[in-house]
Amino acid sequence: MLSSEEVKKNAGVFAADLVKNGMNFGLGTGSTVYWLIRELGVRVSQGLEIRAVPTSAQTVSLALEAGIPLTDLDQVAQLPIAIDGADEIDPQGQLIKGGGGALLQEKIVAAAAEKMIVIADGSKYVSQLGRFPLPVEVIRFGYKQVMRRLLDAGICRSVKLREKNGTPFITDHQHYILDCQFDHIDDAPAINTFIRNITGVVETGLFVRMASSAIIGHSDGRVETINFR
């Protein structure tokens, strides 16, 4: 049986085959994408010509270290694909993302791509969303009002301001993140719409009708592709 990191590496290396010579593509964030970046760096050193639109400052740093040329959405006409990780993936292709705090830029890049491919280990593929806390990115001013609205609506069990080293976590775009704990999420589209309509909310970590497919690595060495649309 493979270790967790070996499983993630298998998925990342498998996904690298989707990035073709001359392609502009969205490059996600997270522990599985790390291995994709490493593999693409090797291929760039061997002559692969690509340009990546990164989804976070962390990805910028890793991609530059690997020698992957970068660009941004304002400089490209189209993105055939975006490849990113996820914290949870359900059988309908609905996702919870944002455990690393990059959900806003991840969603912008995913929305700009013709296809969003999710890469993850098998533990992220679940029968129903909701065990992983749902990240909600909010404006820092008046964030407690958003917390109150979420709790008063009764859609989640608890809401917690994300912290790092004892102080509020600040996203790349200078916002806070509220982590909303559910028992389970029955209607992801409705919850996504409700939360996004709360004044002060920037974006949610629910990715609905965005993923085209998922590449799932397993501990027995298999890499499985699941198509959603």
Annotated binding site for substrate: 29-32, 84-87, 97-100, 124
Rounded to an integer, what distance in angstroms lies between the CA atom of residue 38 and that of residue 42? 7
Q: 215 near 118, Cβ under 8 Å?
A: yes
For the annotated binding site, the residues are: 29-32, 84-87, 97-100, 124
Q: 86 near 98, Cβ under 8 Å?
A: no
**Active-site entry in 106, 114, 163, 224:** 106
SS3 letters across 65-107: HHCCCECCHHHCCCEEEEEECCCEECCCCCEECCCCCCHHHHH
Residue 114 annotated among the catalytic residues of the structure? no
Please provide the size of the chain in residues.
229
* Residues involved in catalysis: 106
